[in-house]
Amino acid sequence: MDLSDLRLQIDDLDRQIVELLNRRAAIAVEIGKRKEAATSAVFAPDRERHVIENAIGNNEGPLPAQSIRSIYREIISSTRALEQPVVIAYWGPPTTNTHLASIYKFGSAATFVPQDTIPDVFEEVERQEADFGVVPIENSIEGIVNHTLDMFLRSDLKICAEIYLQISHCLLSSADNLEDVKKIYSNPVATGQCRRWLNSRMRGVEIVAVSTTARAAMIARDNPEAGAIANSLAAEEYSLNILANHIEDNPANKTRFLAIGRIQPKPSGRDKTSIVVSVPHRSGALLTALEVFARLELNLTMIESRPTKLLPWEYVFYIDVQGHQSDAQMAKAIEKLGECATFVKVLGSYPEAD
């Protein structure tokens, strides 16, 4: 077959794909009506994991699994929007990594609403101005985001999902060449994560700290001698050139984000439960609480202490455990914690992110 014959085959397959997508969407709309009648949430992380893993399991290539995952994320997002528009509040201005994580989880068909602070995200969801919120919780290099942890003591919202995002930085500018960049703007955290590249390629160029990487991109858009350290979405949003890609010092740099809302996802088969506890102020009290998980063979993936801010030197402990709170072993662990801790609060059970 020549090139024109192959293209005709592509055109025919595209017609079939569109037809099948619309048939799928029609069924999704019917499911949405039944969910509404049963007052079920339109976002079901456990079901979405099942759909995507089924699609990957049926994939025989040549498309890689990650491509199937991305395609189905957008299919699910588009059909979910037909069932009911979904509003997502996220921390920071557009094109920040939290914005990227929000798109990665909910797909581009959702409506995304930027918020100035992490408490603003919680408040937007609590006031039901947004269906879900997305906030950062920890970075593989910088550690825990304390503002997010502290909010869970004040809020009754649940953790509905988690997202891991690979953090990749670019040098953006309206200039065409690195040599034309006289100042570089970025958030100090992003700058610190690119220190080796900056010392090697941009030695002597002034580094100026700004509040966010998005703000840096705005400055670079308006000043042809300015560069910005930001992500590729910022380059697209602000019509900037990518003068250098993947300039981060550590390619393994990832940030974990949490989606918060008012729903409790069902077990997906591979879940995580987040719990906050406080223990009596006596020797061995924390060990006694942690032994509950060890005896029941439940694996902890995170433990972090934070001051209660109520009394000096009083702390609470945030714990992530593999398993769903409805699992027999996890339910038993939560019951046993209540016997040895002074305070126990389950923040949510949700599918573990890939």
* pLDDT given for residue 179 in this prediction: 93
Assigned domain for 3 exists: no
Assigned domain for 23 exists: no
The share of the chain scoring above pLDDT 90, in percent, equals 72
Residues 92, 162 share a domain:
yes
pLDDT above 60 for 39: no
pLDDT tens for 109-166 read 999 999 999 999 999 999 999 999 999 999 887 788 888 999 998 899 999 999 999 9
Residues 181, 132 share a domain:
no
Please report, for the domain that includes residue 220, its CATH number: 3.40.190.10
CB atoms within 10 A of CB 297: 9
Residues 202, 181 share a domain:
yes
* pLDDT given for residue 313 in this prediction: 62
Assigned domain for 249 exists: no
Residues 199, 227 share a domain:
yes
Residues 281, 216 share a domain:
no
Among the residue ranges 4-13, 83-92, 157-166, 266-275, the one predicted with the least confidence is 83-92
Assigned domain for 202 exists: yes
Please report, for the domain that includes residue 332, its CATH number: 3.30.70.260
pLDDT tens for 178-198 read 999 999 999 888 898 899 999
* pLDDT given for residue 31 in this prediction: 83
Residues 184, 163 share a domain:
no
* pLDDT given for residue 221 in this prediction: 95
| Mean pLDDT, residues 295-302 | 95
Residues 323, 281 share a domain:
yes
pLDDT above 60 for 250: yes
Q: Which of 261, 295, 316 finishes a domain?
A: 261
At 24, the pLDDT band (50, 70, 90 cuts) reads very high
* pLDDT given for residue 81 in this prediction: 86
Assigned domain for 186 exists: yes
Residues 199, 160 share a domain:
no
Assigned domain for 70 exists: no
Assigned domain for 266 exists: no
pLDDT above 60 for 353: yes
Q: Which of 234, 261, 288 finishes a domain?
A: 261
pLDDT tens for 320-350 read 999 999 999 999 999 999 999 999 999 999 9
Catalytic residues: 255, 257
Residues 192, 207 share a domain:
yes
pTM of the model: 0.86
* pLDDT given for residue 37 in this prediction: 67
Residues 139, 210 share a domain:
no
The residue with greater pLDDT, 322 or 212, is 322
Residues 183, 128 share a domain:
no
Residues 344, 282 share a domain:
yes
Assigned domain for 35 exists: no
Domain with 189 in it: 170-244
Q: How many domains does the chain have?
A: 3
* pLDDT given for residue 147 in this prediction: 87
Q: Which of 235, 261, 287 finishes a domain?
A: 261
Mean pLDDT, the chain, rounded, equals 91
